[in-house]
Chain A
């Protein structure tokens, strides 16, 4: 048994507790249900021990000690509720409240504030301070999103520690000393981290507030419903706070398998889908060249009749359906069933601009098996074309954690600048377009083959050499427990998929691969069968046209009818091109814009917060969401509409 895992026994408040040696008193007390009040302590940050709120008494000790930073020793007797401890808490509270303003009624934190709660539970009840409180101009902006109220700050340094340890952007610091201390953006820095919103959530008082939630609602007025963030491939767990039919804010909900309790600003502040425009509330059908609002019954009848006519007139091959990597798996499954089963066509894809098939092939070939927790255990990490800092921010935090806490070596190969290059042992740039040569060379290097093929000259033109790759592999120590992260959008054809497969196989058994999707359900849209050549569960089937092929075919009028799910997430230019030659364009849309307005039948859709659905994140974790709002007007979830069309097509 090592020193670390040795168990010790001690007594806290008369209760016996057995914990691993090295456990802090606070955590040991927590394990037997004794809560000690804290301000600066946070389970996911390093220990600061600065607020002194967690003072406890140890029998035989000369003075109280901080429970958060004192290890529990074997056999000691700890008290958390002696008169000395209570007196210490009262004094700490009195000291903190000297300068803290009494503006709880205007403060956004009022109602969920640690200082408020502790003052109520442990405070002296009355103030003896009659002098003038410290006054500051309030609030001052730290960034476009975050405001600081220095009067309210209790200098717990949680925000500073977050920026130093978790996001590693180091933008916040304490300026001045003693009584003049204040939190500020470090000199010559800007607080522009994509994780800045976490500091607001970490702040135990109302010192840090966000511009997006400022004065929007009081904490007790909001309904809190669990959800999944729909803004990137990570699928972080969130709590959605709503008030009278509106989303007020997102808060992080800890999920160790994904987000570790953090949230990026894109997710946290991205919930306003409206962009200020009016939502579609009634189905629209084109009559004599103009879109006219009609009843659902008529809209669906028209869609059924026109789809049926297109199939009978031009054959099933003239009909196509586009799912969406941003729609739920259920919706994508229904769409492919509508096209494949009801209309007997094979033209299904999930994007108008990219072929969805290669990534599906990669999944079918057993790539894409990694989990976020693999990063914590990995011996080394190889990143190809991936920029998680921009596209999968929470994965970026996971990678930083591995580098900072375990010194995991990372080898990045990218065609653009990415933040992760700073954390990599070795980072190389390649020229965009030379990915295939890169994969071949990388595989040859991993296999230690001495082949020099034509592909190397391709890479040399981009400034990359076999020697550089060999050096990178050696420094990063790639091997059996390597995690290979590949940007899914690099997989544009089958050759690349097999090259990645060969590369991973060359690493040895145990290496896991992650396909990094930028979209919320890039993984799930493929496993739900909204790609050419694959049914749900990635069972192969005849391959029809891909999305880009459908656009070309529609433009040339060889594809007559196109059914588009989730119009907002498809390229408007591609929709316009398809429109030029297609006879029938049906789409589900939230808003009436140029692209949806060019449709023949437009169904008002429900936003991602207004319907149920399953989203599979980039690590293959399927998570369900429940509706938190009602769709406006007559807008309906896409799934119910497609189901009804399928039902009517049967008759």
Chain B
């Protein structure tokens, strides 16, 4: 009988303490600096894409969730410095394990795993993230810049 009251006393005490859960998604927790979530394809300061379509990220990916096709820059239509750019860049987010090996392999530091972790979806097709979904918005030729 006494033990029951002792137990309930703990419950009562906890009731007045600050809650450890948060009302997600109204409120979001701060992420750790090294956390790895959704990839971003970065740009240089001048707006050109860093990605050159070399597909080393795809080669290094342990779950083969990256697919890259490359094309050739022309002087009229330039996407990245040099000769080569990615025409197709797709990541199958339902396969990705967010290991960050793609980031390690990238010779131009184009791909970076950032902090957006809200990736759940009800449609598998929508889990294929295409280049325009991954590329950070900015001034590139395709944005009229």
Contact = CB atoms under 8 A, between A and B. Distances in A.
A binds B: yes
A220 B108 CA distance: 20
B82 A106 contact: yes
Contact of A214 (B54, B55, B72): B72
B58 A221 contact: yes
A218 B54 CA distance: 8
A139 interface: yes
Contacts of B55: 218, 221
B82 A215 contact: no
B107 A105 contact: yes
A103 interface: yes
Nearest to A103: B82
Interface string A203-234: 00000000000111010110000000000000
Nearest to B56: A105
B53 A215 contact: yes
B83 A105 contact: no
A216 B72 CA distance: 10
Given A105-B52, A106-B54, A218 B107 contact: no
Nearest to A211: B72
B59 A106 contact: no
Interface residues of A, number: 13
B145 to A, nearest CB: 23
B58 A106 contact: no
B59 A215 contact: no
Contacts of B67: 244
Interface range on chain B (Cβ under 8 Å from partner):
10 to 19
Contacts of A216: 70
A444 to B, nearest CB: 62
B84 interface: yes
A138 interface: yes
Contacts of B107: 105
A153 to B, nearest CB: 16
Contacts of A215: 53, 70-72, 83-84
B52 A220 contact: no
A96 B114 CA distance: 40
Contacts of A138: 83
Contacts of A139: 83
A218 B83 CA distance: 15
Interface string B47-86: 0000011111011000000010011100000000011100
Interface string A189-214: 00000000000000000000000001
A105 B82 CA distance: 11
Nearest to A106: B84
A248 to B, nearest CB: 11
Contacts of B72: 214-215
A138 B72 CA distance: 12
Contacts of B59: 218, 220-221
A139 B67 CA distance: 26
A139 B56 CA distance: 22
Nearest to B86: A215
B61 to A, nearest CB: 12
Contacts of A220: 59
A211 to B, nearest CB: 9
Contacts of A244: 67
A281 B54 CA distance: 34
Contact of B52 (A106, A214, A218, A221): A106
Interface in B72-120: 72, 82-84, 107-108
A56 B121 CA distance: 63
Nearest to B84: A106
Residue from A110, A138, A218 with most neighbouring chain B CB atoms (10 Å): A218
28 contacts: A103-B82, A105-B52, A105-B54, A105-B56, A105-B107, A105-B108, A106-B52, A106-B53, A106-B54, A106-B83, A106-B84, A110-B54, A138-B83, A139-B83, A214-B72, A215-B53, A215-B70, A215-B71, A215-B83, A215-B84, A216-B70, A218-B54, A218-B55, A218-B59, A220-B59, A221-B55, A221-B58, A244-B67
Given A105-B56, A139-B83, A221-B58, 6 more contacts: A103-B82, A106-B53, A106-B84, A215-B70, A215-B83, A218-B59
